[in-house]
Amino acid sequence: MSETRTGGCQCGQVRYELTGEPLRLIACHCSECQRQSGSAFGMSMIVKKEDLKITGATKSYTRTADSGNQNTGVFCPECGVRIHNTPHYIDGVVTLKPGTLDDTSWLRPTAMVWLKSAQGWVPVPDGMKALDGQP
């Protein structure tokens, strides 16, 4: 039995519990992740849909990527903080925004992706997989 991890948005209106181990964690420098985060890169923690239990009101927004794939972003309507994205092209998983976890000290991404659109000032850690484009 793995531990239960908690998180939520900035204003506290949305809270969640994550049970089960995450499947994967990546840091993504694509322009959509830069806009979503407002920062240098976004992070995506791929978790099983049934492992994420959300309480509070959420709002969602769906975009179609250049590839034609659709992705729905789920956020707190009160403070705007993105909680997760739901890719329509993979069944059974969501990509949690792990900066919203209450404890982020254990996070270790295994890859940095879309480096061709990176701002260019963030060092790639030694030993981390680095990809110019999509994983």
Residues comprising the chain, all counted: 135
Binding test (CB under 8 A) with other proteins, winner from 49, 63, 88, 129: 63
Q: How far is the C-alpha of 69 from the C-alpha of 17, rounded, in Å?
A: 28
109 by DSSP, 3-state: which? coil
Task: With CA atoms as reference, report the closest residue to 72 among 80, 83, 26, 112.
Answer: 83
43 interacts with other proteins by CB under 8 A? yes
**Window 90-109: residues binding other proteins (CB under 8 A):** 97-100, 104-105, 107-109
Is the Cβ of residue 3 or residue 121 nearer to other proteins in the bound state? 121
The answer to whether the beta carbons of residues 95 and 77 sit under 8 Å apart is no
Residues that bind other proteins (CB under 8 A): 8-11, 27, 31-43, 59, 61, 63, 73, 75-83, 97-100, 104-105, 107-109, 119-126, 128
